[in-house]
Chains A and B, each alone.
Chain A
Amino acid sequence: MVQLLSVDGDFIEPKEHAVYGDLVRQLREADFLKFYRDMARIRRFDEEATALQRQGQMGLWVSAIGQEGAQIGSGYGVGPNDHIFPSYREHGVAITHGVDLMSIIKMFRGVNHGGWNPKENRFHLYAIVLGTQALHATGYAMGINFEGLVGTGDPEKDLAVITYFGDGATAEGDVSEAFLFAATNNTPQVFFCQNNQWAISSPVGTQTKVPLYKRGEGFGVPGIRVDGNDVLACYAVTKKHMDDARAGKGPSLIEALTYRIGAHTTSDDPSKYRDPAEVAEWAAKDPLIRFERFLRKQGIGQDFFDEVKTAGDELATELREKTFAMTEPPLELMFDHVYSEPHPLIEEQRAWLQGYEESLGGHTSNVDGDDTPRYGGTH
């Protein structure tokens, strides 16, 4: 397992992982601070979103607490032109690529299915059906191959793709098929598995008899295991493997060993199936605490941590205000883009519902109050 930060926050560099240590040494203090700020930001976001769900502002919340190191580290290891195909718990990866956090709130509130433009930020929409996105990523990477945008040596041209999924999703046939298609097509692609130990109530042993980083080997996709609570290791391993993919060295699998500190979702009660001692053991390996220790040892002072805390409070206020100000989506959202070309049945049903709603005094959506042509009020 690649680990570059001890639990005490010391930078360690085993000889066999020197290639990853080198990548960390190329980072500057500003990068370290950015990593910490984003980890803290996404944790605060997660806590606030959970509270909003408890207040009835969202139908569901999917917490990623405990996985910030894996997500922020790997997210920044992805190149600026690369494409990301996430599952539904990748809030941390999302902010490394400019996705508006309110988009994620909107999605879980039921305003839309995300609404961000994946072509613009190259962070694709959340995939709810496990593992499906792995095949989309592989097809996308095959397309990059066909276009010859691999191994040209031109950093402006070369592209790679990363797909995220959890330990539970590895059991889905689509993930295995994606390994196979990736290997036989030598796609520029990284499979990033966050093994957070639990698929709702099923421990990882239900999904696999071999360590997950070995799951790709039989398909021709070599794997590596990284400490998922070590943001620097996650950054370095992801960066190296994405660089290799872009250079034409083919697909690889990264298993980030981490832990889902919270419930699967707000609908879940982990006390029914999990030993509190296990949770406590992993909480002691918290990625934020570990990285804070590292930063303090680098001489980062209390001012910085105070500033991050204040930014978190501001973010929480902003999230609440924007959530409370959200408008309902217009009924058109249901009918728009079902097809790209006109479809008589959809047009007939849209017209019928509009007429019916008007006969009752109109649909309650408030499109006029929206400051954006898309839905759900302020960003």
Chain B
Amino acid sequence: MGNFVELSIAKAINAGIRKSMKDNSKVLVFGEDVAQLGGVFRVTEGLLDEFGAKRVFNSPIAESGIIGTAIGLAMRGFRPVAEIQFDGFIYPAFNQIVSQLAKLTNRSEGFFEMPVVVRVPYGGGIGAVEHHSESPEAYFAHTAGLRVVSPSNANDAYWMIQQAIESRDPVMFFEPKRRYWQKGQVNLDQAALPLHAAQTVRQGSAVTIATYGPMVVTALQAAENAAAEGINIEVIDIRSMSPIDFGHIVESVKRTGRLIVTHEAGTFVSISSEIAAKIAELCFYHLEAPVLRVGGFDVPYPAAKLEELYLPDADRLMEAVDRVLAY
């Protein structure tokens, strides 16, 4: 059912933003180089021509200013979609995101809502120079008042960006940059899921792998490899890192008894830390093994020629599958 088109993740986000801008004249798009150029990844390409310079405009290269003015615009009733050009450039805006954007609704006892979307291309795997490959999502998931999501495929990209823009809360929208060009079928008629619902992307019975964003494809590769060895792996795309749809993960772990959580970020005090702790609490009598985590290392993101060693891949996931099955 539905009207399907094939789009890359980048084009799907573009189409989703375009739809939101058509539906709601209060939606604004701004950030560094988002107008004529369409952003360094061309995600906002064509929006300036269609919606004009009052709704799609370049900001000065000042990330705190981008988010600070987004907050002021939201107070005035606009719905800003602000782009931070790369993950590693978000830190100048950290104060405005964490102390202002996240807290203003609570501080004002609800007089101000903050329907702001902060788009962030994130993660590694593109051979970039320093500060262009980071996964800072845990900082924001740790912050009360923010919602944190990441699509892993074109259909989710199309729908989740629209749901993020519709949300009355600030949403950190992490875009898996090495998968921007990955194509998929997009159902233009109907969203599959609410913004914060997890989704099982592969059914299995022996082990559950929970992940998000760019690592979903990697987890599916590992599951294919394992299937060749007769190991049946279930893969969950959690899609939302705050809040986390624990009910969905619990249901799976109660069947498989084994959970691996993986992401590109280092594992120390990470999204996988939270999932491991919560699943230990909720599934204690169902677990056949401790929850294992496979992530990047707890080092600064390395020089590009080392990133293959840094990033978890299907083989490293298989190593964890072997370990979790050995209990």
The answer for the CA separation of A178 and B107 in the assembled complex, in Å, is 22
Range, interface on chain B: 35 or more
Interface residue from B65, B76, B106, B113 paired with A140 (Cβ < 8 Å): B76
Closest to A173 in B: B64
Closest to A346 in B: B144
Interface membership of B71, Cβ < 8 A: yes
Interface membership of A112, Cβ < 8 A: yes
Whether A174 pairs with B96 at a CB distance below 8 angstroms is: yes
Whether B95 pairs with A132 at a CB distance below 8 angstroms is: yes
**Closest Cβ–Cβ distance, residue B117 to chain A (whole Å):** 14
| Chain B residues closer than 8 Å to A337, beta-carbon distance | 105-106, 108-110
Interface membership of B305, Cβ < 8 A: no
Interface residue from A143, A180, A336, A374 paired with B76 (Cβ < 8 Å): A143
**Closest Cβ–Cβ distance, residue B90 to chain A (whole Å):** 15
Binary contact track B103-119/A, C-beta < 8 Å → 1, others 0: 00111111111100000
The answer for the CA separation of A144 and B145 in the assembled complex, in Å, is 26
Whether B60 pairs with A181 at a CB distance below 8 angstroms is: yes
Interface residue from B60, B96, B108, B243 paired with A125 (Cβ < 8 Å): B108
**Closest Cβ–Cβ distance, residue A38 to chain B (whole Å):** 25
Number of residue pairs spanning A and B whose beta carbons lie under 8 angstroms apart:
132
Interface membership of A28, Cβ < 8 A: no
Asked whether A340 and B168 contact (CB < 8 A) given A139-B72, A142-B69, A177-B65, the answer is: yes
Interface residue from A140, A333, A338, A341 paired with B72 (Cβ < 8 Å): A140
The answer for the CA separation of A253 and B64 in the assembled complex, in Å, is 20
Whether B73 pairs with A139 at a CB distance below 8 angstroms is: yes
The answer for the CA separation of A274 and B288 in the assembled complex, in Å, is 68
Task: Give chain A interface residues in 175-231, CB to chain B under 8 Å.
Answer: 177-178, 180-181, 184
Interface membership of B99, Cβ < 8 A: yes
The answer for the CA separation of A143 and B242 in the assembled complex, in Å, is 29
Whether A129 pairs with B145 at a CB distance below 8 angstroms is: no
The answer for the CA separation of A112 and B108 in the assembled complex, in Å, is 9
Whether A180 pairs with B144 at a CB distance below 8 angstroms is: no
Whether B73 pairs with A140 at a CB distance below 8 angstroms is: yes
Asked whether A339 and B76 contact (CB < 8 A) given A138-B68, A178-B65, the answer is: no
Whether B168 pairs with A135 at a CB distance below 8 angstroms is: no
Whether B65 pairs with A136 at a CB distance below 8 angstroms is: no
Asked whether A129 and B99 contact (CB < 8 A) given A181-B65, A184-B60, the answer is: yes
Interface membership of B289, Cβ < 8 A: no
Whether B78 pairs with A339 at a CB distance below 8 angstroms is: no
Interface membership of A115, Cβ < 8 A: yes
Interface membership of B70, Cβ < 8 A: yes
Whether B111 pairs with A117 at a CB distance below 8 angstroms is: yes
Interface membership of B320, Cβ < 8 A: no
**Listed residue (B72, B111, B145, B243) with the most chain A CB atoms within 10 angstroms of its CB:** B72
**Closest Cβ–Cβ distance, residue A173 to chain B (whole Å):** 6
Interface membership of A15, Cβ < 8 A: no
Whether A136 pairs with B54 at a CB distance below 8 angstroms is: no
The answer for the CA separation of A132 and B70 in the assembled complex, in Å, is 12
| Chain A residues closer than 8 Å to B77, beta-carbon distance | 143
Asked whether A139 and B111 contact (CB < 8 A) given A132-B100, A178-B65, A345-B243, the answer is: no
**Listed residue (A181, A346, A374) with the most chain B CB atoms within 10 angstroms of its CB:** A181
Interface residue from B60, B72, B112, B168 paired with A143 (Cβ < 8 Å): B72
Whether B65 pairs with A135 at a CB distance below 8 angstroms is: yes
| Chain B residues closer than 8 Å to A333, beta-carbon distance | 109
Whether B70 pairs with A139 at a CB distance below 8 angstroms is: yes
Interface residue from A138, A174, A339 paired with B147 (Cβ < 8 Å): A339
Interface membership of B191, Cβ < 8 A: no
Whether B60 pairs with A136 at a CB distance below 8 angstroms is: no
**Listed residue (B68, B71, B112) with the most chain A CB atoms within 10 angstroms of its CB:** B68
The answer for the CA separation of A115 and B96 in the assembled complex, in Å, is 21
Binary contact track A84-114/B, C-beta < 8 Å → 1, others 0: 0000000000000000000000000000111
Interface membership of B307, Cβ < 8 A: no
Binary contact track A311-353/B, C-beta < 8 Å → 1, others 0: 0000000000000000000000100111111011110000000
Closest to B145 in A: A338
Whether B109 pairs with A174 at a CB distance below 8 angstroms is: no
* Chain B residues close to A by CB (< 8 Å): 28, 54-55, 59-60, 62, 64-65, 67-78, 92, 95-96, 99-100, 105-114, 144-145, 147, 167-169, 242-243
Given contacts A140-B72, A178-B68, 15 further A-B contacts (CB under 8 A): A113-B108, A115-B109, A118-B108, A135-B64, A139-B72, A139-B73, A143-B72, A143-B75, A146-B78, A174-B68, A181-B60, A184-B60, A338-B105, A340-B113, A344-B243
* Chain A residues close to B by CB (< 8 Å): 112-115, 117-119, 124-125, 129, 132, 134-144, 146-147, 173-174, 177-178, 180-181, 184, 333, 336-341, 343-346, 374
3 nearest A-B pairs in the assembled complex, by CB-CB distance: A139-B72, A135-B68, A143-B76
